[in-house]
């Protein structure tokens, strides 16, 4: 695999030439699960509105699907992070400006933070009764996640169509 421990633009991490099949599969599966829960979150929000109005609401089939998908995202993101630190990630594309590299790292760290915070706040609000987290979950974090997903997709398209540096192919072809 050619692991090199170094202090390149990624910091003190194991650097590899590309992502593994597992890392690529996790990226796309997590992305699809997140999109599913974001797109179909209205029913869960409606249930929560009833809870806030004092109703005793059973955990419906839809709620269970939302909870299971969110919990799966949390577990898979933890797996992704373990792989990131044990297998490594590729370095930034050659010749990329340091500011772009730093922005990319900041964006990824923010995405990981949100991919952990979203399911945790949802679970703690629903099962833990910490009602203040429901608003944070469904209003603040949800909007931030949508925004970061948009930036993530646009950055990938920028690298593919404008820079033509092969960055997008890293998440398509395992090495």
Query: Given this model, what pLDDT does residue 4 score?
Result: 45
Q: Among the listed ranges 23-32, 74-83, 116-125, 162-171, which one has the minimum average pLDDT value?
A: 162-171
* Strands 89-90 and 13-16, bridge-based pairing: parallel
Residue 13 has pLDDT above 80, yes or no: no
Instruction: For 114-158, write each residue's pLDDT tens digit.
Output: 999 999 999 999 999 999 999 999 999 999 999 999 999 999 999
- Cα separation of the two ends of the chain: 8
Domain boundaries, the chain: 4-171
Q: How many CA atoms lie within 13 A of 80 on its CB side?
A: 23
Provide mean pLDDT across the span 16-24.
Answer: 94
For 74-87, the pLDDT digits (tens) are 999 999 999 999 99
- What lies within 8 Å, CB to CB, of 141 at 6+ separation is 114, 117, 118, 121
CA–CA separation, 70 vs 122, rounded Å?
Answer: 8
pLDDT of 62 > 70? The answer is: yes
Are the C-beta atoms of 9 and 101 separated by less than 8 Å? yes
pTM score of the predicted model:
0.89
Whether residue 3 is predicted with pLDDT greater than 50 in this model: the reply is no
């Amino acid at each position: 695999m050619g692991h090199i421990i170094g202090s390149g633009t990624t910091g003190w991490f194991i650097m590899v030439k590309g992502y593994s099949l597992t890392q690529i599969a996790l990226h796309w599966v997590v992305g699809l699960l997140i999109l599913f829960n974001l797109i179909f979150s209205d029913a869960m929000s409606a249930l929560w509105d009833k809870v806030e109005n004092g109703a005793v609401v059973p955990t419906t089939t839809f709620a269970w699907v939302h909870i299971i998908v969110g919990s799966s995202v949390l577990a898979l993101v933890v797996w992704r992070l373990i792989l990131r630190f044990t297998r490594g990630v590729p370095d930034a594309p050659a010749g990329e400006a340091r500011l772009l590299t730093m922005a990319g790292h900041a964006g990824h760290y923010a995405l990981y933070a949100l991919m952990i915070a979203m399911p945790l706040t949802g679970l703690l609000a629903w099962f833990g009764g910490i009602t203040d987290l429901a608003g944070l979950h469904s209003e603040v974090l949800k909007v931030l996640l949508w925004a970061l997903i948009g930036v993530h997709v646009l950055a990938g398209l920028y690298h593919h169509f404008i820079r033509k540096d092969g960055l997008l192919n890293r998440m398509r072809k395992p090495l």
